[in-house]
Amino acid sequence: MQILSILLAIGTPEILLIALAILLIFGGKKIPELMRGLGKGVNEFKKGMNDIEKEIKSEDKEDKKEEK
């Protein structure tokens, strides 16, 4: 519960401080590469979720056909 209240207390100054720290740690040239990798990871996750949904729906359709 405390973690949630801490996350909700993050405002603009804190976000700017975190962004500055990331910029100092990784440098300006590495950040676009990191964001590209993050975007690819999110896309792969979404594709995996869609594949699972399609598989579940096709199994449901097959089960309904078998019942008839």
Query: Which residue ranges make up each domain of the chain?
Result: 2-67
Q: Tens of pLDDT along 36-45? A: 998 999 999 9
Helix, strand, or coil here: 10?
coil
Q: What separation in angstroms does the CA of 15 have from each of 3, 9, 18, 28, 57?
A: 16, 11, 5, 17, 41
Q: Tens of pLDDT along 4-37? A: 666 667 788 888 898 888 888 888 888 888 889 9
- Dig out the tokens for 34 from the structure: 């990191």
CA atoms of 16 and 4, how far apart (whole Å) = 20
